[in-house]
Every structure is written in structure tokens, then in C-alpha cells.
Structure 1
Amino acid sequence: MPKKRKTNRTSPKRAPRQPASALPASDRDEDWEDSEDYVSDVLHLDATYATPADAVKAFLDGVTVEWIGSVDGARMRHRVARGGDGREAIEQAVFVAGPLERMLVCAWHQAGPEGQTRMSEDVLAVLDVLQSAIRPVVEAEVRKFRPDYTAATLEAFREAPEPHGTGMPVFGWRTFHAVEPDTTWLEAIDTAAWNSSIALDNWHRENAIPELEPAPLANLLRRHDVPLVLCAGCGEAITDRHPRWTGTWMSLDSDGGALCALSLEPRSEPLRHPSPRFSWLTDNEFGDPHHPVACS
């Protein structure tokens, strides 16, 4: 089977992408020549609906109006939906991704049916804390170009597990943009919310957010009673309660799975066994299993 593509962690870090209206002329890419191109080339919503009000009319007629995609980060969704006040609005959502998602999925299995309801509430509390850390950073980035800008405050949410997903509820953050007759598509996009999708992948950022680094993130989850278990060797999130691998410590990795990545790295010279004389293979090819960090 094809190997899963790995993230290139040595590639140059990229700054968050802004709508062209937020950038000085000298910094604009040809692909982002103006704000309207940003909406057309990425969201494609205005290709069918000239304004958000037109999209709302279609929604009221039973049409699903939705864009799902990503740009150098987590999956996002823009759609017409009913907001908390019951009125139709443009929902802008960002879904969890990266190390956070991997930790949550393993912890979800580890919690088991008896603990998953409680964990679901705990995760929402964690997302509120993370949003408090992410929002000031992404807001400051936009203010370099728009000094009077104020980022939207995103709320944590969960939805039912999606078909063919991990089995865990879908978690993320979202905001709702009110729609008036003269509302434009650009007014229904919050730049900082968009850039927060990139914040979930610190490898792609110039200004990493400490709370999203693996160690602080793991500590935050544990403080909120999320049953996260990490491998003492490679540090990956692991679970021994996946239904197909009950009793075996597994990571969320179809390449390695039950193999601790640390065991696959070249051994230091004092620990390396002499090479066999006749075979290319050694017993080391079996690797070592994950083993959880001892609880203190």
C-alpha cells in the first residue's frame, strides 16, 4: 500500500496568508491581486451566490450552501446555518487538526464508552483555553496591516462523528456572521479565524504558539482530565483500547502503528549489534512496542 506522506518539518516556515486587502501592495502575490479574487479562488461561493443574502435565500429554499477546504492548515467550513439567535447566518468554522487531533482521538478510545461523555465536555473546556491563547496572536498579525482590526471570538463546538471518520465527535471553533441585505462575502470572513487554522500547525508559522506545542498541550489536556497517554519512547499519543487492537498500545499512524518510532531510529554505536554476515535482516527489524509513560 502507498506510504502516508509525512510533513516536511525542515521546510521553511510560512507566514499566515491574508486576504489581499490586508496586505500592502508590495507584499501581494499575483494570485491574490484583490480581495474579490481571494473569495472567488478559495471559497468559490460567489460563483453561485453574488451575496450572502442570496445564499441565505437558497438555504431557505432547501439548498445546502457550504464550502469545506483548507489552505496550509486545518480543515475549515463556511456555510449558511442558523446561529444561536435562530437567524440564518454565515458560519465560519475551524476544525481541530495536527497534534491536538491525534491526542484527542487516542484519548477518546482510552476513555471508553463509560468516559466519553465526560471527555466530550472536557474537550470543549480545553478548546476554550486554547482559543484564548490563539486569538491574541492571530489578531496581532492582522493588526500589522489593519491597526483597527478586532478578531472575532470563536466558540468551541462539537458535532456528531462523521461517517468514515475516527469515531470521535467532530470538534472545532466557530463564529457566526450576521447577514443583512447589503452584507458582502468579505464581511462574512474573519481573517484571524481563517489564520487560526494555520496556527494548529506550528511548523508552518513564524510565530509559534507555546500552548500548541506537544508538551504544554498534553499537560493542558491532562489538567482537564482528558485521559491522554503518551509513549515513553517516542512521545506519540497512544491507546490500548482501539477495538481492533485491544490490549496493544497503538499510535494513530498506519506506517508505524504498534511500533515505537524511537526503536526504528539508528542505535548509538555502543548499543548497535554487529551486522550479520549472511543476511540483510536483523531482529531489530521487528522494532519495539510503545510503552506508556509511568504515572507520577
Structure 2
Amino acid sequence: MPKKRKKNRKAPRQHATVRTAPARYVEPLDEDDTPEGYTDLAAYLSSRFPAPHDAVEAVKAGERVEWIGSIDGSQMRHRLVIVDDGTAVVEQAVFIGGTPEKTLLCAWHQAGNQERSLLDKRVLAALDDLHTAVRPVLEADIRQVRPAYTAPVLHSFREEPEPYGPGMPVFGWRILHPVTSDTTWEDTVDTATWNSSVTMSGWLDDYDHIPELRPTGFAQLLRQHGIPAQLCARCEAPITDRHPRWTGTWITPDSESGPLCEGTHAGLPREPWLGTLTDHEFGFPHCPG
């Protein structure tokens, strides 16, 4: 968790268009090659540029100034970018991951090619509603140590599918921090935004009392926005029967279980006297709820 700053920053919803250097894929660092302090984004970024203002010219010249990582939550990205009016901002972004990402991916397959063009706006609207449910809880947690703190309203966003991904666009929340000559990297780390990575990861911990974060609640939220989310009625895993390699078979994006439901089944099979196998070795299929 980042240092809880004493400053009270209430950030409005950000609508600026982000303009970055030409897109190019950067191979992720191997764990052995990770620079010291990589998980401390402020230390990592300041090792190259003492403050965000010092990195502006480098970004304008096409250099990438960013930190990508995860600490007890979903992936996060911290980068300096140039917005459409030419000013510099620091983007603090949190990406959807874990079970929520699997639920979206299955719904993306369920929608089919003809419906996918409509999904982007629906997903963004659903994520806005999810943030509305999560934000006051995150704010209340931080107010226990910082009574004057106000959590910013994050903006849901979409990016093109990334190389080696599942083919689905990437979704998340973000806030754009203004950059001045006095801005430090620590000033661009909002605590509630950072903590929201836990809610985006599917590992609920202290947030399982928020209905929209539970698998069934999140799937229901998506369906309310016209997104065809499906869960298995037995194990609650997100499922689809429209993956091109498994057409007609309900499957979850898990290479270990895949089409096998890990839900509870009535009774244990009696064991045969001579053989070693029972029909239960074939497992049970997922069943849409």
C-alpha cells in the first residue's frame, strides 16, 4: 500500500484524451532482471527522473516513462503521458483482473462477432457502476487514518487487445494527475485508486461484503448492461460455449479445469472391487445458471 499522504486531493472525473508515443510492445522484465525498487513505483520512476516534470521532454520525444506491476491485486500502470491539449499528466491506472476479467472474457466470446462492437460502451458503463459501489467503501477505510480524505471518481477506459492476450480489449479505471514543476511521484499515487486494484483482482479479502464484487453480483451487473455474462450454476465459474476451439462446450478460462466443473456433486462414488476407475473419472460438465 502506498504512503498515505496528508494532502486531501479531490480529483474530478477525467475526460481528457491520452496521446502517447507510437504503440510498441515492450517485453515484460524477467523477475531476475527486475531493477531494485521495481515494486516501489516512486523509487523506480525517480531513479530515472527525479520528478514527473523532469520526464516531460523525454515523453514528448517518444520515450516511455512508466511503471507496470501488481502488489496484492490486479495489474497497475503508472506513466507520464501527454494529453490532447499538449499538457503533461501522470496516469494512474488499474486493470481488471482475476475472476472479473474471466467473466468479461467469457461474455466477450458469448457476444459473438456481431455483438462485440456494442460491448465496449456497455462494459465501460458497468465499470462506472462498479466504481460507484466500491468508492465509498475504499474512502471509508482510508478515513480511519485520514479523516479529511475524499476518494476521487475514477474514469473507466478501454485499450486495444495486447499482444499475446486473449484477443479481448483491456479494461480498467484510471485517474489523470496534473503535473507541475512542484509535483512529486508520490503526489501522483492516490491511495483509494491503488487499493482498488484489490477489488479488481477477484481476491476480495475485506471487500466481500460488496455485492457487485462477488461472482454472482458482478455477472448480474454485467447482464444489467446487456453483457451476456454466464456463470456455472454449480461452481459459479465464468463460462462460455462459444470459444472457437470449444464450440458447444461450456468451458471456463482455466487450463487445469477447463470444461470440468469443480462444484460439489451429490455423494462419493462407491469403489469397484477389481478395477481402479469409476465413471466419475470423466468429471462433470459446467452447467449455465
Give deviations 1:123-172, integer Å, cap 9, x for gaps. 00000001111111111212222222222211000000011111110000
Give, in angstroms, the shift of residue 234 of structure 1: 1.7
Contact 1:40 1:46 in 2 (8 A): no
The aligned counterpart of 1:29 is none
**1:210 partner letter:** P
Contact 1:93 1:175 in 2 (8 A): yes
Tell me, yes or no, if structure 1 residue 153 matches structure 2 residue 149: no
Tell me, yes or no, if structure 1 residue 280 matches structure 2 residue 255: no
The aligned counterpart of 1:241 is 242
Using the TM superposition, name which of 170-179 and 144-153 deviates more. 144-153
The aligned counterpart of 1:77 is 77
Gaps of at least 5 residues in structure 1 are: 1-16, 23-38
Q: Which runs of 4+ in 1 moved over 6 A?
A: none
Partners of 1:41 and 1:251 in 2: how far apart?
31
Structure-1-length-normalised TM-score: 0.81
**1:220 partner letter:** L
Contact 2:73 2:203 in 1 (8 A): no
Using the TM superposition, name which of 249-258 and 79-88 deviates more. 79-88
Give deviations 1:4-35, integer Å, cap 9, x for gaps. xxxxxxxxxxxxx341657xxxxxxxxxxxxx
The aligned counterpart of 2:40 is 42
Structure-2-length-normalised TM-score: 0.83
Partners of 1:57 and 1:86 in 2: how far apart?
12
The aligned counterpart of 1:251 is 252
Give deviations 1:99-140, integer Å, cap 9, x for gaps. 211110000001011001111111000000011111111112
Q: Secondary structure at the match of 2:151?
A: coil
Q: Percent identity?
A: 50
Contact 1:159 1:171 in 2 (8 A): yes
**2:125 partner letter:** A
Give, in angstroms, the shift of residue 216 of structure 1: 1.5
Equivalent runs, 1:10-49 vs 2, <5 Å: 17-19=1-3, 42-43=40-41, 44-49=44-49
Partners of 1:163 and 1:55 in 2: how far apart?
27
Task: Say if 1:231 and 1:196 are closer, same or farther in 2 by CA, change over 3 A.
Answer: same
Partners of 1:40 and 1:247 in 2: how far apart?
44
Tell me, yes or no, if structure 1 residue 291 matches structure 2 residue 283: no
Equivalent runs, 1:1-296 vs 2, <5 Å: 17-19=1-3, 42-43=40-41, 44-83=44-83, 85-201=85-201, 203-208=203-208, 209-262=210-263, 265=264, 267-268=266-267, 272-293=268-289
Contact 1:40 1:47 in 2 (8 A): no
Contact 1:94 1:193 in 2 (8 A): yes
**1:173 partner letter:** W
Contact 2:2 2:189 in 1 (8 A): no
Using the TM superposition, name which of 184-193 and 142-151 deviates more. 142-151
Task: Say if 1:18 and 1:182 are closer, same or farther in 2 by CA, change over 3 A.
Answer: closer
**2:106 partner letter:** C
Partners of 2:249 and 2:56 in 1: how far apart?
49
Q: Secondary structure at the match of 1:250?
A: coil
Give, in angstroms, the shift of residue 266 of structure 1: 6.5
Give deviations 1:15-69, integer Å, cap 9, x for gaps. xx341657xxxxxxxxxxxxxxxx8751111111100101222212221111100
Partners of 2:173 and 2:195 in 1: how far apart?
12
Contact 1:90 1:188 in 2 (8 A): yes
Contact 1:83 1:176 in 2 (8 A): no
Task: Say if 1:212 and 1:42 are closer, same or farther in 2 by CA, change over 3 A.
Answer: same
Q: Which has the higher helix share?
A: 1
Partners of 2:185 and 2:38 in 1: how far apart?
10
Give the count of matched residue pairs.
256
Give deviations 1:213-264, integer Å, cap 9, x for gaps. 11211111111110112222222111111111112111111111111112xx
Contact 2:96 2:201 in 1 (8 A): no
